[in-house]
Structure 1
């Protein structure tokens, strides 16, 4: 099963400083058919104006992954962590028993991110945060694990859930392959560029919900940047 979810069908909100599109029900957007996909609960496509952002606010018991598409995001939290994550890189916050953090765009231009929430396997663990650069060349022509709680992904940022977040960059005409367990749930979004997923055309920022499939073949129709989540039921 492969279901394309066009960008213009997504929920969303325009707060002026924040323009958000929601692949799944979130905040004021509620669609009973889009409450999550396996353990994946949130996928937000956010554009954050320069010198604005999210003031300190709490989270608990959620794995929160931020993939920066353009610009940079600056994180601070009540554990004393702080850092700046730039385009193409990833940060992971395991909210655990509770954490309060802020996220600001301190850059001169708009920052664009995907924010992805995945339900953890256990609740109440100590919170943590981390960020890591991922050179674009390492994921050229192939999917590379950026954050993972699965075996064999030692170079990825750790997640406390049986899931992985992967990235790939493809030049027009290139194809990347990914093997799936058909019991699992995958969700793919091109950050840039149009692709075909098992022959189905998907444009930039569309979502693709995938289940009961054992293999993905993603062909770039244009130069493309991809983010894929592979999660448990």
Structure 2
């Protein structure tokens, strides 16, 4: 069985944190099945609490019509990316609606928010990534936003989904953190690179599906790799791959 590991390197060289798919924490509540990259709820691993500002990366399956009733959050930036099905959202600030594949939802919990999220469909499962980041400012006014992205815009290139509140020169959603989220779908036999947008940030590479080679590692579906002390990350595909990149401050 492959295991997760943290590789330490001398100063000014790349540091890697490898989280292979089959080493993630798991929870099975029947209607909810989830894989947990970082410690969450009943799963705790002291070596896997966060990667810089990236605190939670949950890979959820939610049965038809099921979900989470009203519950609180505060001082966390929350990003939801559905991969199949439809999310129904409601919160105590009057925001209510659905989020479908191709859309991304952001929520700044700030001083406190109550919200619910359910599978909007009774006859189809919902799968999604829920991601939490530590914010760069506490006790901000809670806010909610969502946006639809053209899936064709991430074919053989990275499409920016989320960026910091002080860097809104693009069409991405913004959050209270110096973080950038991007997704891309790459054909077999591609070589491509990602440039770090903010000096000192690390990059967490998550393989949604497929296989890719980067920084001497071969990654497959649902593997994750954290990289520090980097300016550019180079990738190579043999088969096709879908990637979620999370560039975050290392705190």
The answer, yes or no, to whether TM exceeds 0.5 is yes
Taking the TM superposition and a 5 Å limit, the aligned residue runs for 1:142-221 are 142-149=157-164, 151=167, 153-180=169-196, 183-221=200-238
Work out which of the residue numbers 30, 34, 38 in structure 1 matches 2:44: 30
SS at match of 1:137: helix
CA distance in 1, matches of 2:68, 2:206: 24
Report the CA distance shift for 1:72/1:8 in structure 2 as closer, same or farther (over 3 A): same
CA distance in 1, matches of 2:200, 2:97: 37
Task: State the aligned residue count.
Answer: 233
Tell me, which stretches of 5 or more residues in structure 1 are unaligned?
none
Deviation at 1:28, TM superposition (A): 0.8
Task: Indicate the RMSD between aligned Cα atoms, in angstroms.
Answer: 1.5
Structure showing greater radius of gyration is 2
CA distance in 1, matches of 2:98, 2:192: 30
**Which range moves more in the overlay, 175-184 or 104-113?**
175-184
TM-score by length of 2: 0.88
SS at match of 1:193: strand
TM-score by length of 1: 0.95
1:123 equivalent in alignment to 2:138: yes
Work out which of the residue numbers 75, 86, 96 in structure 1 matches 2:110: 96
1:75 equivalent in alignment to 2:89: yes
**Structure 1, residues 23-81: CA drift from partner, whole Å, max 9, x if none?**
11111111111110111111111111111111110100100001111112111111111
Deviation at 1:182, TM superposition (A): 6.3
The runs of at least 4 consecutive aligned structure 1 residues that moved more than 3 Å come to none
Tell me, which stretches of 5 or more residues in structure 2 are unaligned?
1-14
CA contact 2:98–2:120 (8 Å) conserved in 1: no
